[in-house]
Structure 1
Amino acid sequence: MLKKIDEKELTRRIQAEQALYKDRKSGIDHYAEVDPASGRPVTKYIDGGVETFPVPSAFEVLPVYFEAVALGNTLHPLGLVQVGLDFHGNPQFELYTHRPVQVQKLALDKIAADVTTQYTQEIESHNAAFIESEVQAQLDIEERRVARELAEAAAKRRAEIEAEVRAVYQPAETAEAPAPTKGRK
């Protein structure tokens, strides 16, 4: 069957992709994809609605926070997360923030446009494949009908030729040969 764009499905897909964006951390992901040839992970930059700021020590939390707020970011529920220790054993932190609303709006609009384009292409490719399969099915039916008609015509013509041949070549009547005599004459 031919499909048409379902607005509910499109809205659901857009909302799902936008929700993934809003909770995804921006930055380099060393395991973003897998190389199909070698099976090794491929590093890739991931864009998301969460931005982190490195905090070298606990004493620098407030300056980093004020810097993030000055850029338009808002604090994420995770807030401050310890990510490890430096060479001297001092804890290192990351400050989790939501990106500015304007940046997120631009990204969400781009996501909506990309999802709409992808969904439209899916519908168009499905419809093209469906039409092609129906055309091929009709051609196959027509081909079988023509083959059947040709076979019937060939069988009919063969029967006509066989009837003509039988009419021309009737078995000859055999004349009775005289019976041989029993002695010499």
Structure 2
Amino acid sequence: MLKSLDPKELQARKSAAEEAFRGRKAGVNHFAGVDPVTGRPVGGYQDGGIEAVLVKYAEELIPTYIEYTARGYTLTSIGTIALDANTFEVYFNRPEAQVKPMLAAILQKVEDDYKAEIEVHNEKFIQQQIDAQLRVDLAREERERALAETERRTKVERDIRAAFQPVDEVTPPAPKGRK
């Protein structure tokens, strides 16, 4: 059957994309894509709603918090992670002013991908129906051709049998009397 745009499914896809974006750390992801030749994961940059800030010394933690909160960032539930004795990584949620344009582009891509998916599905369905109808028409034509061939063969056979029908012996007419 042909598919049409389902607003509920589209909204569910958009919600899932937004949740994934807001919960994803921006930066290099070593598994961002797949090499089409080998099938191995390849790295790449990915956008996300969380920004990880590297703080090299413990004395810089509080100034970093103050600087980023002044710019509109908020601390995530992950907070601060110690990478070693002196190095820390602080996870901030990006400000909405940064997130909105990125999210708008992502949601538009989700919608475009969904529409393209529906279009591909509908084209494939139409092609299947065309192929099925052509197979039915071809089978019908083949049956009609076979029936016509059988009828023609029967007619030719009947005509040939009639032409070469054995003739009963003809008795010569009796001679007429002489006068």
TM-score w.r.t. the length of structure 2 is 0.88
1:173: how far off?
A: 5.7
- Post-superposition Cα deviations, 1:125-161, rounded to whole Å, max 9, x if no partner, equal 1111111111121111111111111110110000000
2:158 paired residue among 155, 163, 174: 163
- Does residue 148 of the first structure (1) align with residue 139 of the second (2)? no
Pairing of 1:15-54 with structure 2 (within 5 A):
15-38=15-38, 40-54=40-54
Secondary structure of the 1:91 match is coil
**Structure 2 Cα separation of the partners of residues 31 and 131 of structure 1:** 37
1:31: how far off?
A: 2.8
- Does residue 68 of the first structure (1) align with residue 68 of the second (2)? yes
- Does residue 105 of the first structure (1) align with residue 100 of the second (2)? yes
1:30: how far off?
A: 2.1
- Structure 2 segments unaligned to the other structure (5+ residues): 171-179
Q: Which amino acid aligns with 2:143?
A: R
TM-score w.r.t. the length of structure 1 is 0.85
Secondary structure of the 1:65 match is helix
- Structure 1 segments unaligned to the other structure (5+ residues): 176-185
Aligned length: 170
**Structure 2 Cα separation of the partners of residues 146 and 8 of structure 1:** 46
Cα RMSD for the two superposed structures: 1.8
**Structure 1 Cα separation of the partners of residues 90 and 100 of structure 2:** 22
Q: Which amino acid aligns with 1:169?
A: F
